[in-house]
Structures are given as structure tokens and as C-alpha cells.
Structure 1
Amino acid sequence: MPAIAAKTNATRPRRTADRDPVSDVRLITRELAEVAEYIAHVKREIGELRANELYRERIPTAHDELGSVVNATASATHAIMAAAEEILCSQEDTFETYKEQVESRVLAIFEACSFQDITGQRISRVVEALGQLEKRLSRFASAVNARDSEKGPVDPEDALRQARKEILLLNGPQDEDEAIAQDDIDALFG
């Protein structure tokens, strides 16, 4: 029992008459110095994020690269479809002229397929930019011991988008390990 009483007495604040003003000032000064050091540490870590570079350079570049991928893919798809349609709708009189047309359209298809090399390079740049962002945010979160709150602020636009996605089942393309097998789909309709 004396150990508990000693512990209780040690944790109780001293009466005002028993307090030493000099030690109180030292304690407050030490605590303020710790707070100041923590604030300086957080400021250094924020500086290491190089948020302005991310905001001004990396994210806009990634956005532009993805826009270019979309445009290149659409253009290539259009060229391939047009060439295939020309082959299917061909009304050449002789085999030789038909063969020439098919060869020329197949070459156009091959040329259009070269988009994948350039889009691969562009997507690699986007992946690199996202990797940098992830690395910096991870370092910052570790440095300041950041924890996710259970319920963060709700963005109304995100909430609407999520509700629409759930209603319309707009989940987009699935990863191979998450996708339903084509045989299962065929069995469903067969």
C-alpha cells in the first residue's frame, strides 16, 4: 500500500506554497524548447516534400502525359479502325488491286500500332512522378508520425462520385486477379 500512496503523492500537483518558481520556469522552458524543436522538425520535413515542385512540375507533367496517352490511343484506334473498314468494304475489281489495297492498309495498321511504344514511355514518366509523390509523402508521414483519422472531412463531390459509381457500377477495367473469367460470363449467358 505505501508504494501506491507514494505514487499518488508524486503525481499530485504540489500546493502553490510548496512550488519552486525557478523549477517551474525551467520545466516550462524545456517543454517550450521541445515544442519549438518539433515545429522546426516539421518545417524541415515540409521543405523536404518540395510541395511546390510537385504542384508546379510533376503533377501537371503527369497530367499532360496521361492526356497525350489518351490522344495517341484514340488516334491510333481511329487509324486502325479506318484501315480495317477500308479492307472490309473494298470493292476492287482484280485480285492485284485488292492485294495492293490490303497491303497498304495493313502497313497503316502496323504504323498506328507504334503508338504503344510512345505511350509506354509516357506512362513510365507518370509512374515515376507518382513514385516520387508516394516516397515524399511516406517520408513526411513517418517523420511527423502522422496517423489517418477514422473519419476525415467528406468532400461532397467525392461522395456524389462514389454514390454514382455504386449505382451505375462504374468500376472500370478490373485487374486480372479481380476480374470475372470469360468462361463464367459465357456460362451465365449460355
Structure 2
Amino acid sequence: MIAPEEERLLKTYLVEMFGQISSMRRELAALQGDGKGSFASMTDTLDAIVENTEVAGNAILESMEAISASVGKLQDVKDPKTAAVCDEIVDSTNKVFEACAFQDLTGQRITRVVKSLKFMEDHINKLVRIWGKEELARVAAELAAPKSTTPDLLEGPKRPGVAISQDDIDKLFG
């Protein structure tokens, strides 16, 4: 059994996460101009990035293979200057091949982000259903209600170096 204060804290976190998701949806809808603003459209966008990156990576690799084949034909020439230039081209081509590993890593990372977003949305929606929208709306209203204007001075003011600085607070929200 969850203690009432722990349940309230969980509901508060859920309301905050749900609010953040709603905000992300609105921002996404504004960026896309499609009115959808859902994680589904966000994950579709990320999937499209993975696909486009893969297509571009493959085009780069195919072009580099063609360059390598052309250089291979030139390497049969016995001219030392030509051989030296061919070696430089081969070195540069190999560096491009190595750099193209970005596509696979990018795809893997974006896929992980997509899975995490889907997981979070699914579980947040399950929690919303468990507690009910009415209860969470009540908690949200309490969170939005103005707080007491009486300062809480039970702990007294903090000494410099002990208190959280405004820079640290700004970093949290930045």
C-alpha cells in the first residue's frame, strides 16, 4: 500500500510529465503545421531521419567505391607522381568510408530514442487511466493554484555557499 503522501507525489509527477508531453506535442504541431503533435508523428519524423541518413550514407559509399575503382585503374600507371596522388586519394577515400559509420550509429541512437518515447507515452497513458483524468485534473488544479504568500522561514535563510545559487536553478530549467 502506498502512503497518501507518496501517492500524491506520484500523481504530481505524473501530472508534470503529462503536461510536458502535451507541451512537446503542441511544439511539434507548431513546427510541423499538421496539428497532429503526437509522439507517433514525432517518432515518424525520427524514423524518416534514419531512413534519409541511410540513403545519403549509401550514396556516399557508392560514390566512394566508384572513385576507388577509378583510382585502381590509375595505379597501374608506372609514373611515380601519379602513384603518389593515387595513394593520397586512397587514404582520403578510406577516411570517408570510416566516417560513414556515423549513419549506422545515428540510426541506432535515434531508434533507441524512438523506443524510449513510445515506452514513456504508453506508461504515462496507463497511469492516467489508472488514476483517472478527473483526479489528475484536480491535482493539476492544485499545482496551478497560487501558493501561500507567507514565506516558509522555518529553516531560516541559507548561508552563501549553502544555498542553491540562481545560476544552478537556471541550469535546471535551461
Q: TM-score range by the shorter chain?
A: 0.3 to 0.5
Pick 1 or 2: higher relative contact order, CA cutoff 8 A, min separation 6.
Answer: 2
Larger radius of gyration: 1
> TM-score with structure 2 length normalisation?
0.45
